[in-house]
Amino acid sequence: MSQAFPPTSYTPARIQEAVQELLAMDTLPPIVQAGHPALRQHAAPFEGQLNATELSDLIDLMRKVMHEAPGVGLAAPQLGIPLQLAVLEDQFEIDKDAAAVRSRTPLEFFAIVNPSYSPLPSGTAAFFEGCLSLSGLQAVVERPESVRLEYLTPAGEPVARDFNGWQARIVQHETDHLHGTLYIDRAELRSLTTNSEYAQRWAEPGIDRARRELGFLTERL
């Protein structure tokens, strides 16, 4: 799916047509990459543009694409669909030390519709972060350590739920996608690294060595 949706094209019929095109594909659709306009637009709130079956099928497709990537979240704009919908799930097994430092615990699969988040008074945390739409890159992002997420379930039920640690990071990352924001907009640009450089030099639980040697967040040194 490569077509961009200018803001004036956020018609229910056009969004439904684009989703139907995705669902009719014989293979999994590609994840659009940075530079694609869909990633820089404020996605349309879900207001019944899809029927229940189409919405369910789109969520299932997004979950498959997320698993195939693999990743821990995927937003509809990453498939070129300008709709406020994202799926999240984190079941990866990682090093126990890294999990402890990053407050990373498993996150069961769920889908969010029309989400927004607000920070809770628990400070911030900074770690390397990547994105399926910026393939091959990572950078350190400082984010609120805890947030309250308000969203609708696919059935239309309103939910307010608090998230902490790495789960809060996933929630913020995916919700940002729905408002045209990429993690690189919030990143410490001096920390920007390729995946290979990260694996060779900075793949450790925290960011202290990367911060010293790359010269970012120096006020904490």
- Positions annotated as catalytic residues are 174
Taking alpha carbons only, the member of 205, 220, 210 closest to residue 190 is 210
Handedness of CA 131, 134, 140, 144 (dihedral sign): negative
> d(Cα 217, Cα 128) in Å, to the nearest integer?
13
Q: How far apart are CA 28 and CA 38, in angstroms?
A: 18
Residue 99 exposed, middle or buried by CB count within 10 Å (0-12, 13-18, 19+): middle
**CA distance to 69, 100, 153, per residue, from 104 (Å):** 20, 7, 24
**What is the number of alpha carbons within 13 Å of residue 11 lying toward its C-beta?**
5
Check: CB of residue 165 under 8 Å from CB of residue 104. Answer: yes
CA 112, 148, 47, 80 torsion-angle sign: negative
User: What DSSP string runs through 208-221?
Assistant: HHHHHHHT-SGGG-
